[in-house]
Chains A and B, each alone.
Chain A
């Protein structure tokens, strides 16, 4: 009677014990060493896995920082706060993180920019763009079907009147939109840089004027008025160098078409 109970218990218990022993030996033998700092850094990261740091996700970034492959301040989403925390964990002083923001280098809404034809295909910029350069008369401008809006993990892009607008307070400069735009008109710039030429057209001035009321015609007035040498007209398009610009607002006053835009600085 006792044996009826003892033998099954011994068998199950024995096998359990044996496999437990085997497993613990295996786990010691095949142990994977993980730096505990990786976990700590992973904790302070935002966890959006957006890939803006250039790594595949927050886990990879945490590993990269510990291994020295990534800079502690390379997370654009977390910004200074996260950089400081990572610096604390690693025991180094983090360099100041430059806060960046995405800007759409186009101002052509339905009103200001003419339409070549009426597009009725699927709602996708990349699908519309190859059709004669998109429905917009300007082949360089915003297609307006919202690929960037759908790509944005932070809900920071709105489509207003056929033009993508970025809500700068939400933008984390993760560059998802940059990659999603078939016209490549979204650029990442320092947030402290208030003035931007919101046009990407490389057409000649007359052509730009014909198509769009707010395009840069390359007249060069801004470049002449700028006392800091921050504006250069390349071909028929003015470009503001963010490093030299001091936000003096001279250029915006002389621009005949209003292609230079002021973006509110919130930091």
Chain B
């Protein structure tokens, strides 16, 4: 009987984690539904390969940042009653993490490092990363949920970036009126992709 309860507990936990994942991935996609991280979304989505690389770099930073910020928030800030420090502390942690990612990429994946260029250090100021850390606190996820949420949000970002990079690669070969070439048509197509994601609204009842 006791085992049954443990299994049920674990299953419901898994279920809530799944809900969080799908919510972050599709329903509340960071880029296309919450409009966070638009800068790299438009900047790095010209090529599929760099978009994928950027997506995974952001996913990595988001996951680690969620875990670390959540731990620091619980262990340090709550203990000392310093919740008002969260923003500055989170930015500090994220900046250090991005630097770490940069160093590692430069050493092990130089082509990706060069392709990402200025957008890699810009993850530091990517509001999606700070957003996920702050949302974790706001919604009140625990450490595990926070990490899963961060990871799923990163995957959602990657999904949006890869989808949009595919659209933009097609745009390259389309006959576009002169005045719409470049960023204007990119913004218009971004709106359509975003509109498509609004179709997930209401899924899961959240």
CB distance from B191 to the nearest CB of A (A): 29
A22 at the interface (CB under 8 A from B): yes
Q: How far is the CB of A12 from chain B (nearest CB, A)?
A: 6
Main DSSP-derived SS at the A contact region: helix
Contact B80 A32 (CB under 8 A): no
For B92, list chain A residues within 8 Å (CB): 12, 15-16, 19
Task: Give every chain B residue within 8 A of A26 (Cβ-Cβ).
Answer: 100, 103-104
How many B residues touch the partner, as a band?
Answer: 20 to 34
- Shortest distance from the beta carbon of A14 to any chain B beta carbon, whole Å: 9
- A27 contacts the other chain (Cβ, under 8 Å)? yes
Give Cα distance in the complex from A59 to B25, angstroms.
39
From residue A244, how far is it (CB to closest CB) to chain B in Å? 45
Which candidate, B82-90, B120-128, B134-142, B155-163, is the interface stretch facing chain A?
A: B82-90
Number of A residues contacting the other chain (C-beta, 8 Å)?
Answer: 15
Q: From residue 58 to 93 of chain B, which have CB atoms closer than 8 A to chain A?
A: 72, 76-77, 80, 82, 85, 88-89, 92-93
Q: How far is the CB of B150 from chain A (nearest CB, A)?
A: 18
How far, in whole Å, are A102 and B33 apart by their CA atoms in the complex? Answer: 53
Known: A23-B103, A30-B104. A11 touches B96 (CB 8 A): no
Whether B96 lies near A19 (C-beta < 8 A) is: yes
CB pair B107 A32 closer than 8 Å: yes
Is A8 part of the binding interface, using a Cβ–Cβ cutoff of 8 Å?
Answer: yes
Residue B106 is within 8 A (CB to CB) of chain A in the complex: yes
A11-B85, A19-B95, A23-B99 given. 8 additional CB < 8 A pairs?
A7-B80, A11-B76, A15-B93, A19-B92, A19-B93, A22-B96, A26-B104, A31-B107
